[in-house]
Structure 1
Amino acid sequence: MKRKLDDYDDDDFCTDLDIVRMRKNNPNPSSASATASNYAFPHQISGQRHYNEPTASTSGSSQQPSSSSHPDRIQFFVRMISQGKTLVLYGKPEDKVKVIHEKIQTITGIPMIEQRLIYQGRQLQWEHSLAECMIYNDAGLHLVGRMRSTEHPRVWHLIDDLVSTVYRLCKGERGVYLKSVEAMMLEFLDMTTKKEIQLTHLASHLNIFQSLCAPAALVMLYLSPHRYNKDLADKSIRTFASSCKNGLQKPLYSQCAPVALEFCNLLSRSAAQDDPLYSLCRSSLGSMVEDLRIGRSSRNHENFSNRMCVIAVKDIFPFVTELANKLTEGSGINLSLNEVRDFAAFLRPIKAAIKDLPDFERIIQVPMIYTFTCYDDEIKLLYAILFELMEKMRKCLEKVKVEMVMEENEDGEWDQYLPILKETRGIAKLYQGAEDIFWSVMKSVDVSLQYLIIRYAKRGENYKWIIGHKNLLDFESRRHLVMLLLPETIDEDEELHEMLIDRSQLLSESFNYISKAKPENLRGGLFMEFNNEEATGPGVLREWFFLVCQEIFNPQNALFIACPNDRRRFFPNPASKVDPLHLRYFKFAGRVIALALMHKVPVGIMFDRTFFLQLAGMTISLEDIKDADPYFYSSCKQILDMDPVIVDQDALGLTFVHEIEELGSMKVVELFTNGKNIVVNSRNRKEYVELLIQHRFVTSVSKQVAKFAKGFADIVGDEKIQKLVFKTLEFEDHDGMLHGSESIISVEDWKVHTEYNGYKESDPQIYWFWEIVEEMTAEQRKVLLFFWTSLKHLPVDGFNGLASKLYIYKSNESTDHLPSSHTCFYRICFPAYPSMAVMRQRLNIITQDHVGCSFGTW
């Protein structure tokens, strides 16, 4: 029958400590070594006696006398904490402790004044006899020696006092010790975690902490039936965990991790797995080991030597199993978000350790006939965990799909699904064919996956695992992931980058404000004002984005060329160098486009596919150039489709050169060295076409594209994120985000998203207004929308994509006045015109393109 801790009295508590010692050091309780000292103090919990080591006696003889042959003698053991050795000594019950100190000095050379003998948590006094100290046969003592000669005597004294105090508390003593344990713990942590501490000193401090069994002592205090003891231990252990995690730099985690592991192991054996202190220690350990290399590394070992951890895979794999079992139990998800993070933290170093194995060849073959030199059991168990996770998540996502249809959004646990899916996919990547199975499961529940991304994907998390499979996502979920990559706009005025622009110098002055600003200032947000105009706020900023982008991509400025078949699409102009500042302008353009996406402003332009693919770091094929240069595309197509016999007869008369027009004159460029002497034939024509495309659309504009990408990266953070933005989107997605909706504006939809102030929907002026809008051309409606909102193009999702509804306000102005607008708030204001004809005349004026821009806006 298992005995509970509450069944013990305070007087029994040392026996409890010894039970823990026997479980850890000797799983066979009947062995002699396990019963060597039934009342050993918790120092013995974490250190085994080395009975096979050479020992010393009081006589110094090589033949040690047996205590059984001398009934009046006592055999006892002295563990030397500072040296990790054990002495076997003999004495008589009436011998004074001072005699034992003298014998230790003779054997070890440690001066008596520097010795302290600890037995059952108390320091032995010189004048007491062995009998008075209750030292019986096979007793275990601890020697703390050379305290003033060791490198860290203060730490030795401090931790020894802490452990002794814990023992006295466990024995039922009260008073000052309630405060002293916490004070000593804080003092130790202050010495251990201060910034200037050296790595070797940190390791020594923690080694002392473990050698003196402080973790075991604190856990025993936590298991005390007395609430004040439990609370004191709880606070001390929590303080240790948080100080190591938050007070040390990550490279030092490897030193603290073994101590955190000891706390976890002690608590897991003694407390429930849902014990809050155990959960805290497990989380702390996970955060320490997730960036460490554990086990053996056969590749790039020198790069990880300063981050290697003495903890092995077998030490932390039980936590993966524990959390995986909890995750897969029951019908729902039983893990909290913190536990999901712990699961990910422990998985990361385990996966890295498996990949570091010499016999790991990029992927694990399945079925696993091959046996690994290390981690064989863990690799097979992790494979079983993988399929349990996939099946569990399939069921959960099917449930999400059903509840979405039934509009039962009781989704309290759904926010955990994405991080669990990420870890499941990470495991699947290790095993042959497993990742294909994972994505097949995701395809069956792709609607649920899309919903989870839109609703629960958060800024700062890593979603690269899903971006490579964007075919499983819809436009809204891909757009949401991109917006998480872009900086978040800030509304605080003191953080905004202020600009005062003269409309007549729009491009040049905007260039000066944007190109000279520090990227971090632009990420904070923009405040825009046009010179000699009163209007300010988000509406003016939206107007500026639209106008400046129209200027940047105006072909007359020679930066970009419009596609012949679609004048809304643009790609860099190879001849842009006619302007000495052209590369700086491309960097400026990259910043502006990134800012427009960040502020969710459709600007009415689109990129050609060749430009988009280069920004995504992807290659360009023949079909990709169709819009950029239809004639060039047709010529290349003819070369590839021509009869091989005709081509080999040199009917084309082509060599590996490309003729280009540069500043009004023709220039011949070799596609590779000596290309002018290599004739194009049926065997090399494909290579010829590929080189032509590469030169025409990549090489000739490489500098321009690079500068544009650099400007975009300035805003989003770095080049990797810049490429990730474009890789996340489909080509059509980018069109929608940058250009806006291409659909004709629906007047009915416009009505639905419009509210009234001062007017009622039944008023004749409102009826007339919508009748007139119905009569307008598509372009007039765009101008009216621009006058009203500073947006000429609606978002792809129409009026639903706007920040708020639109409003029609009744003004008190004379009916001679034209309508006015407050674009920041999506308001249009007009007086109660006396007739439909008057209203039509007023609206016709403001819907002229050259008038609608900024006229009467606030």
Structure 2
Amino acid sequence: MKRKLEDFYDDDFFTELDFIRMRKYNPNLNSAPATASSYNFPDQITGHHNCNNSAPTASTASTSGSSQHSPPSLDPDRIHFFVRMISQGKTLVLNGKPEDKVKLIHEKIQTVTGIPVIEQRLIYQGKQLQWEHSLAECMIRNDAGLHLVGRMRSTEHPQVWQLIDHLVSAIFRLCKGETGVCLEEVEAMLVAFLGMTTKKDVQVNHLASHLNIFQSLCAPTALVMLYMSPVKCNKELAEKLIRTFMLSCKTGLQKPVYSQCAPVALEFCKLLGRSAARDDPLYSLCRSSLGSMVEDIRIGRSSRNHNHDDFSNRMCVIAVEDIFPFVTELANKLTEGSRINLSLNEVRDFAAFLRPIKGAIKDLPDFEGRVPVPLMYILPCYDDEIKLLYLMLFELLEKMRKCLERIKGEMAMEEKEDDEWDQYLAILKEMRGIAKLYQGAEDMFWSNMKLVDVSLQYLIIVYAKRGEDYKWIIGHKHLLDFESRRNLVMLMLPEIKGEDEELHEMLIDRSQLLSESFNYISKAKPENLRGGLFMEFNNEEATGPGVLREWFFLVCQEIFNPQNALFVACPNDRRRFFPNPASKVDPLHLRYFKFAGRVIALALMHKVQVGIMFDRTFFLQLAGMNISLEDIKDADPYFYSSCKQILDMDPIIVDQDALGLTFVHEVEELGSMKVVELFANGKNIVVNSRNRKEYVELLIQHRFVTSVANQVAKFAKGFADIVGDEKIQKLVFKTLEFEDHDGMLHGSENMISVEDWKVHTEYNGYKETDPQIYWFWKIVEEMTTEQRKVLLFFWTSLKHLPLDGFGGLSSKLYIYKSNDPIDLLPSSHTCFYRICFPSYPSMALMRQRLNIITQDHVGCSFGTW
């Protein structure tokens, strides 16, 4: 509820607004003061003038921590003034005569506080008062506000003290409705302060001091009071100043230093939270700013018992208790009603505040990976927060499960009210992060996700965004389907530039396809390749995406051609390949493996199916995973069978040395046999029933890992060049199931469906009822599988369809009616998936023309000039 201007002169408002802040600096305040005068704020803070009452005499001066006040003096010649004790967070109420020297005031302060005179420095309007000057000479008038600081701080940042003092004074004059205050000058003072505070070369300790001065002089309180003003121009000015403060800190300070501003942002949040509505845009801005300040810092126990004389500690320490209320506030809003009530910014705030809290819990001395739920009520600290966070998880899980069930229902009815669905993945990520803190909670989280896995898959396919972190779900990829896993991988790969942007150009001679492609790709900078490719064959007219798709297919066929000695085909499945241990016959073989890694990553990035599949042993190594006996079955069936026999043999027979084996492996190298020890002195260690499992594991390791380690490493490096780094490269393969990679790289293994082809084909110049169209599809139905593949390649530059068939292509296919003479063959524009042919007069003539282009050597070439 908004407050009126008169509220600022109401004592209860100050009690509500500042009591928590006052207790922070004055532990003697055990209950809220009855009136604003109990705070003993200077006139520019309270906005009150005690014109009718003089202050207590100096000998009976009061402090903000005292419950006793001396009777006011009736002497009209005395000056009533306040002395703010910065180090203790208290305010003294003093009075004196105009002719009194400043030194006398120091002595009175020593009488009340015990602070030696020599250790005192009095600051008024940014200047230090000299002992020999009188109060009149220092221009100290009734209700003036002085600041007492320690000897070592007396001359520190006097400009900042003066600037903020003037700023606060001007703001309170505006609040009291005084005329003559220039709004532009008020704004200029804050801008000047920010210029000194957020400049790039500002030292961290100076930043902390500046912000401490800003808080000590109650500038946040003054700005919030001005924001609550019913006077429109005052309110607008306050909003502009607070926004300027937050924006300047964010844009002017580097991330580690930026966190120093958190206590000020926290105070703005508390003040606005108490005086304005929680949906107030300015409160939301301050809360978001605070979240961005604390999300990457370590927080701990409350700093309320720290030594307040430590200037820097006061400014940079944020406690769990300080930011946990914001987590609760956002979680409560999240669980209200039947739908998600948080905006995208609020979801980001929720994540930002959770991050340091989770870190603080993990930093507990007794934390061993998970909080034991039965014992969390006796933890040494954060017990309230840990319990509340656990209960919060249950509420959020119940709410999200219902929301995901509703998604499933709305998908079935095709009534998708998806305005809020794009937030679900981010919320689920934070929930899983909370669940990881507690024993058994993560299993509970994933059990609930299993119940709504269809909705989870839909969210990933439709709402997952490039640049977001989805590693949290990859460990449970079995909950996803191929399409959702593929989408996650595509988000990890670089985004292809548009045709109007600069592309990496290649002009390739078909007769030198592999060597020239190697030169263009291996010598290019990775960032140039990520941007996109422009492909052209020497002496051929065709250019564009269709030619690029053809190049991908042809060059991959060459790379994985066993005759080139880079890869070996699996005996049981000639479509599958793994690195050739003997590839070093070519001195450039490692450079070619790096080239191959780049090409495969680019093919995935461009969504081209190249008809190649990896052996499982190769795939697992690229994912950084171990290889087991069952994984080698396709790569070397004979080797697999031999290992299996060793493990299954009767132990008694093995121990009788019937096998005659030691820990060595015989390998063929350049036509001769070579014996390799599996470990030091392995040739003298006999294989028996106790160590045979180790022997088999070492054999597998040497045969499929050690012998090709350099080749795999270079391939992975080439792949990483395109996707960004090695971590992403491994993540790509970890995200996919083995069969997923087959589908993305090789394409569908199903026969090409003519019916599916028809459904995804449109016509230009022809109608579906024309005899030429009827004849065309009749002829295609009669074709062999290979002829259909060649026709598809002629039409699209693709021999292999995506797993989801023609529907998985980037666009429909088109049949165009051409005006060419009927003695010409059909032509194609593969970039646009377009085939063109004239109005052939008979089915026989059309069949003859199509039979020509479905010969492999014709359909797989665009022809020459």
TM over 0.5: yes
The equivalences for 1:45-444 within 5 A come to 78-80=82-84, 91=95, 95-96=97-98, 99=100, 101=102, 103-104=104-105, 107=117, 126=136, 133-135=141-143, 141-142=146-147, 150-174=155-179, 176-295=181-300, 309-368=316-375, 371-444=378-451
How far the C-alpha of 1:105 sits from its partner, in A, is 6.8
Asked if 2 retains the 8 angstrom alpha-carbon contact of 1:821 and 1:857, the reply is no
Aligned counterpart, 1:5: 3
How far the C-alpha of 1:57 sits from its partner, in A, is 6.5
Distance, in Å, in 2 between the alignment partners of 1:236 and 1:87 is 27
Matched AA of 1:20 = L
Distance, in Å, in 2 between the alignment partners of 1:831 and 1:600 is 32
Asked if 2 retains the 8 angstrom alpha-carbon contact of 1:327 and 1:334, the reply is yes
Which deviates further from its counterpart, 201-210 or 105-114? 105-114
Asked if 2 retains the 8 angstrom alpha-carbon contact of 1:296 and 1:357, the reply is no
Which deviates further from its counterpart, 189-198 or 379-388? 189-198
- Post-superposition Cα deviations, 1:414-462, rounded to whole Å, max 9, x if no partner, equal 1111111111111001111111111110001111111111111111111
The equivalences for 1:466-481 within 5 A come to 466-481=473-488
How far the C-alpha of 1:276 sits from its partner, in A, is 0.9
Asked if 2 retains the 8 angstrom alpha-carbon contact of 1:808 and 1:827, the reply is yes
For the residue of structure 1 that corresponds to 2:100, the secondary structure is helix
For the residue of structure 2 that corresponds to 1:839, the secondary structure is helix
Aligned counterpart, 2:504: 497
- The TM-score normalised by the length of structure 1 is 0.90
Distance, in Å, in 2 between the alignment partners of 1:843 and 1:400 is 48
Distance, in Å, in 2 between the alignment partners of 1:242 and 1:129 is 37
Matched AA of 1:544 = W
Distance, in Å, in 1 between the alignment partners of 2:423 and 2:337 is 16
Distance, in Å, in 2 between the alignment partners of 1:116 and 1:573 is 78
Q: How many residues align?
A: 821
Asked if 1 retains the 8 angstrom alpha-carbon contact of 2:44 and 2:145, the reply is no
Q: Given the superposition, is the C-alpha separation of residues 857 and 291 from structure 1 closer, same or farther in structure 2, using an over 3 Å criterion? A: farther
For the residue of structure 2 that corresponds to 1:340, the secondary structure is helix
Matched AA of 1:388 = E
Asked if 2 retains the 8 angstrom alpha-carbon contact of 1:655 and 1:678, the reply is yes
- Post-superposition Cα deviations, 1:380-419, rounded to whole Å, max 9, x if no partner, equal 1111101111111111111111111111101211111111
Which deviates further from its counterpart, 325-334 or 345-354? 325-334
Aligned counterpart, 1:121: none
For the residue of structure 2 that corresponds to 1:391, the secondary structure is helix
Q: Given the superposition, is the C-alpha separation of residues 154 and 209 from structure 1 closer, same or farther in structure 2, using an over 3 Å criterion? A: same
Distance, in Å, in 1 between the alignment partners of 2:790 and 2:123 is 95
Matched AA of 1:153 = P
- Post-superposition Cα deviations, 1:507-552, rounded to whole Å, max 9, x if no partner, equal 1111111111111111111111111112111111111110110010
Aligned counterpart, 1:536: 543
Q: Given the superposition, is the C-alpha separation of residues 147 and 215 from structure 1 closer, same or farther in structure 2, using an over 3 Å criterion? A: farther
Asked if 2 retains the 8 angstrom alpha-carbon contact of 1:117 and 1:142, the reply is no
For the residue of structure 2 that corresponds to 1:601, the secondary structure is coil
For the residue of structure 2 that corresponds to 1:791, the secondary structure is coil
Distance, in Å, in 2 between the alignment partners of 1:681 and 1:109 is 84
For the residue of structure 1 that corresponds to 2:374, the secondary structure is coil
- Post-superposition Cα deviations, 1:487-506, rounded to whole Å, max 9, x if no partner, equal 11111444311111111111
Matched AA of 1:842 = R
Q: Given the superposition, is the C-alpha separation of residues 155 and 369 from structure 1 closer, same or farther in structure 2, using an over 3 Å criterion? A: closer
Distance, in Å, in 1 between the alignment partners of 2:843 and 2:73 is 125
- The TM-score normalised by the length of structure 2 is 0.89
Distance, in Å, in 1 between the alignment partners of 2:858 and 2:314 is 66
For the residue of structure 2 that corresponds to 1:484, the secondary structure is helix
Q: Given the superposition, is the C-alpha separation of residues 165 and 857 from structure 1 closer, same or farther in structure 2, using an over 3 Å criterion? A: farther
How far the C-alpha of 1:697 sits from its partner, in A, is 0.4
Q: Given the superposition, is the C-alpha separation of residues 367 and 84 from structure 1 closer, same or farther in structure 2, using an over 3 Å criterion? A: closer
Q: Given the superposition, is the C-alpha separation of residues 170 and 318 from structure 1 closer, same or farther in structure 2, using an over 3 Å criterion? A: same
- Post-superposition Cα deviations, 1:549-600, rounded to whole Å, max 9, x if no partner, equal 0010000000000011111100000000001111111011001100100010
Asked if 1 retains the 8 angstrom alpha-carbon contact of 2:124 and 2:146, the reply is no
For the residue of structure 1 that corresponds to 2:259, the secondary structure is helix
1:676 matches 2:683: yes
Aligned counterpart, 2:110: none
Matched AA of 2:857 = H
Distance, in Å, in 2 between the alignment partners of 1:834 and 1:746 is 27
Distance, in Å, in 1 between the alignment partners of 2:512 and 2:176 is 85
Distance, in Å, in 1 between the alignment partners of 2:186 and 2:674 is 85
Asked if 2 retains the 8 angstrom alpha-carbon contact of 1:401 and 1:448, the reply is yes
How far the C-alpha of 1:827 sits from its partner, in A, is 0.6
Aligned counterpart, 2:307: none
* % same residue: 78
Aligned counterpart, 2:305: none
Distance, in Å, in 1 between the alignment partners of 2:43 and 2:72 is 28
Asked if 2 retains the 8 angstrom alpha-carbon contact of 1:18 and 1:40, the reply is no
- Post-superposition Cα deviations, 1:705-759, rounded to whole Å, max 9, x if no partner, equal 0110111111111111111101111000000000011111011111111111111
Q: Given the superposition, is the C-alpha separation of residues 515 and 353 from structure 1 closer, same or farther in structure 2, using an over 3 Å criterion? A: same
CA RMSD of aligned residues (A): 3.2
How far the C-alpha of 1:817 sits from its partner, in A, is 1.1
Distance, in Å, in 2 between the alignment partners of 1:605 and 1:284 is 50
Aligned counterpart, 2:655: 648
- Post-superposition Cα deviations, 1:6-65, rounded to whole Å, max 9, x if no partner, equal 27178x3798557634464257667589744677446589xxxxxxxxx99799xxxxx9
Select the residue among 539, 545, 557 that pairs with 2:552.
Answer: 545
Distance, in Å, in 2 between the alignment partners of 1:215 and 1:739 is 63
For the residue of structure 1 that corresponds to 2:732, the secondary structure is helix
Matched AA of 1:538 = P
For the residue of structure 2 that corresponds to 1:368, the secondary structure is helix
How far the C-alpha of 1:127 sits from its partner, in A, is 7.2
Distance, in Å, in 1 between the alignment partners of 2:564 and 2:682 is 34
Structure 2: where are the runs of 5+ without partners?
24-28, 48-56, 62-67, 108-116, 129-133, 303-311
- Post-superposition Cα deviations, 1:660-698, rounded to whole Å, max 9, x if no partner, equal 000000000011111111111111111111111110000
Q: Given the superposition, is the C-alpha separation of residues 427 and 66 from structure 1 closer, same or farther in structure 2, using an over 3 Å criterion? A: closer
How far the C-alpha of 1:173 sits from its partner, in A, is 2.6
Matched AA of 1:99 = D
Aligned counterpart, 2:639: 632
Asked if 2 retains the 8 angstrom alpha-carbon contact of 1:292 and 1:309, the reply is no
Aligned counterpart, 2:458: 451
Distance, in Å, in 2 between the alignment partners of 1:652 and 1:306 is 72
Aligned counterpart, 1:850: 857
Aligned counterpart, 1:559: 566
Select the residue among 580, 604, 614 that pairs with 2:587.
Answer: 580
Aligned counterpart, 1:25: 22
Aligned counterpart, 1:50: none
How far the C-alpha of 1:819 sits from its partner, in A, is 1.1
Distance, in Å, in 1 between the alignment partners of 2:152 and 2:761 is 82
Matched AA of 1:496 = L
Distance, in Å, in 2 between the alignment partners of 1:857 and 1:391 is 65
Select the residue among 740, 756, 762 that pairs with 1:755.
Answer: 762
Q: Given the superposition, is the C-alpha separation of residues 100 and 797 from structure 1 closer, same or farther in structure 2, using an over 3 Å criterion? A: farther
For the residue of structure 2 that corresponds to 1:195, the secondary structure is coil
Which deviates further from its counterpart, 373-382 or 602-611? 373-382
Aligned counterpart, 1:690: 697
